[in-house]
C-alpha cells in the first residue's frame, strides 16, 4: 500500500513561495500555476512545447471567438506561424475578416461594454463587447475584399485554402505599401505556406462579399468538399511519415469539429486504417454537460475515432478565456522551443490529396475481396 500511496503523491510538491519581481512567463507558468485551470494551462503549455512541437509533429490550430479584433492574430497566431509552430489552420471567416482591418490601416479601439448601444448606433460606432470602431471600417474592408474578388484569378472554383492564399498575397502587398510591420494572419500564412481553411465560408463578412460579387456575375465558387479531403490529407501525411498529429483548439464551434473530423473522414468514410490524433490541447469556456461540440472532451472524441485512445494522457483541456490563455501559451512556447522548419503544407496539397486517394482506393479494393 505504501507503493500505491507513493504513486498517488508523485506530483510536484506545492510550495507557496512568493512570486518574484519581473518573473518570466515560463517561470510563472511552471512554478506558480499550481492547480485548477491554472494547472491545466500549465499542463497545456508543457504539452504544446515538450511534445506537440517535436520535429515530427504536424500541428493544426482552430480559431473561434472574436480573437483578431482583440489583436491576437498579430500578437499570437502570426509569431506561432513564423516560428513553424502552427502548420495548418481552421478559422471562422470572421477572424480572418476582422484581422484584415489592421492590414489595410484601419483602427480598432479599447472601449467599454457598458456604453448605451443606441448611442453607438446613432454615432456609427460598432461594438464587439469592449472593442469599438467606426462603421466605415466595415465598409472599407468590404470594398477592399470585393475589389480583390473581382480580379481574374478569382474567377474559378477553389477551396478556401486557395482563396485565403490568393487573398493573402494582396493583403501582404497592401501591408508593404502602408508600411505596416505587424503582419496579418492571412498575409503571414501566405508567406509561410500555411493553409488556412474556413469550415463555414458563407458565415462571415468575407463570405457575404463573395456572395455580392457572385450576384453580380463573378464566376468564383468555393469547393467546401475539397477542404474536407485536403484537411484529411494533411493529417494522413503526418501519420504516414511516422510522425504525429496534434490539434491546438482555441475555442470550439465549427472549426473545432472541422479539424477533428479529419480522422473520422480518414477512418470511417474513406476506410483507411488509422487511430486518431496524437495530441489534443483545447482552451475553452464551454461546459461539456450541455452536449455541445464546443465543450466535448477528448475522451468523448476518442469514441468517434478523433483522438487515439492510446494517447489520451496527452490531452489537456483548460477552461480559460482564450484572450488570457493564448498570449501565455504563445510566450511560453517561443521561450521554450527553437523555431521549427516551415512545413509549407499549402504547396503540397495536390500531392497529399493524390496520396489520400491512393490509400482510399486500396481500402475499397481490400473491402471487396
Beta strands in 25-175 (DSSP E): 57-63, 88-91, 109-110, 125-128, 131-134, 157-158
> Taking Cα atoms as reference points, which of 53, 106, 103 lies closest to residue 73?
103
Coil, strand or helix at 72: helix
C-alpha distances in angstroms, 258 versus 63, 67, 90?
11, 18, 7
* Catalytic residue status for 306: yes
- Give the DSSP per-residue string, 177-188: HHT--S--HHHH
- Give the DSSP per-residue string, 236-253: HHHHHTT-EEEEEEES-H
Q: Which one is catalytic: 239, 306, 311, 343?
A: 306
CB 305 within 8 A of CB 245: no
- Would the CA dihedral through 161, 164, 167, 169 be positive or negative? negative
3-state helix, strand, coil in the chain (%, to 5): 55, 10, 30
Active site residues: 306
Amino acid at each position: 500500500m505504501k507503493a500505491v500511496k507513493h504513486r498517488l503523491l508523485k506530483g510536484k510538491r506545492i510550495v507557496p513561495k512568493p512570486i518574484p519581481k519581473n518573473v518570466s512567463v515560463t517561470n510563472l507558468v511552471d512554478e506558480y500555476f499550481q492547480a485548477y485551470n491554472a494547472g491545466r494551462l500549465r499542463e497545456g503549455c508543457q504539452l504544446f512545447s515538450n511534445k506537440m512541437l517535436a520535429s515530427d509533429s504536424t500541428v493544426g490550430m482552430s480559431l473561434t471567438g472574436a480573437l483578431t479584433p482583440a489583436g491576437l492574430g498579430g500578437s499570437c497566431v502570426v509569431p506561432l506561424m513564423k516560428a513553424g509552430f502552427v502548420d495548418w489552420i481552421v478559422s471562422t471567416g470572421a477572424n480572418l475578416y476582422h484581422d484584415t482591418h489592421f492590414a489595410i490601416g484601419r483602427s480598432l479601439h479599447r472601449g467599454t461594454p457598458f456604453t448605451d448601444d443606441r448611442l453607438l448606433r446613432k454615432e456609427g460606432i460598432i461594438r464587439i463587447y469592449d472593442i469599438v470602431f467606426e462603421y466605415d471600417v466595415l465598409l472599407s474592408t468590404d470594398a477592399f475584399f470585393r475589389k480583390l474578388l473581382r480580379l481574374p484569378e478569382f474567377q474559378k472554383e477553389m477551396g478556401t485554402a486557395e482563396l485565403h492564399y490568393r487573398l493573402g498575397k494582396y493583403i501582404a502587398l497592401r501591408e508593404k505599401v502602408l508600411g505596416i510591420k505587424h503582419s496579418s494572419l492571412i498575409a503571414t500564412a501566405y508567406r509561410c505556406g500555411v493553409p488556412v481553411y474556413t469550415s463555414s465560408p458563407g458565415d462571415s463578412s468575407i463570405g457575404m462579399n463573395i456572395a455580392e460579387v457572385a450576384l453580380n456575375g463573378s464566376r468564383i465558387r468555393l469547393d467546401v468538399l475539397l477542404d474536407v479531403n485536403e484537411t484529411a490529407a494533411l493529417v494522413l501525411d503526418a501519420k504516414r511519415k511516422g510522425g504525429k498529429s496534434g490539434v491546438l483548439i482555441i475555442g470550439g464551434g465549427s472549426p473545432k469539429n472541422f479539424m477533428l473530423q479529419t480522422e473520422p473522414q480518414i477512418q470511417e468514410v474513406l476506410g483507411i486504417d488509422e487511430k486518431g490524433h496524437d495530441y489534443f490541447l483545447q482552451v475553452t469556456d464551454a461546459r461539456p454537460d450541455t452536449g455541445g461540440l464546443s465543450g466535448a472532451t477528448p475522451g468523448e472524441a476518442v469514441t468517434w475515432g478523433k483522438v487515439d485512445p492510446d494517447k489520451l494522457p496527452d490531452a489537456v483541456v483548460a477552461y480559460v478565456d482564450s484572450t488570457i490563455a493564448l498570449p501565455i501559451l504563445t510566450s511560453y512556447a517561443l521561450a521554450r522551443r527553437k523555431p521549427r522548419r516551415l512545413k509549407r503544407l499549402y504547396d503540397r496539397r495536390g500531392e497529399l490529396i493524390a496520396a489520400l486517394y491512393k490509400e482510399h482506393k486500396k481500402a475499397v479494393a481490400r473491402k471487396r475481396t
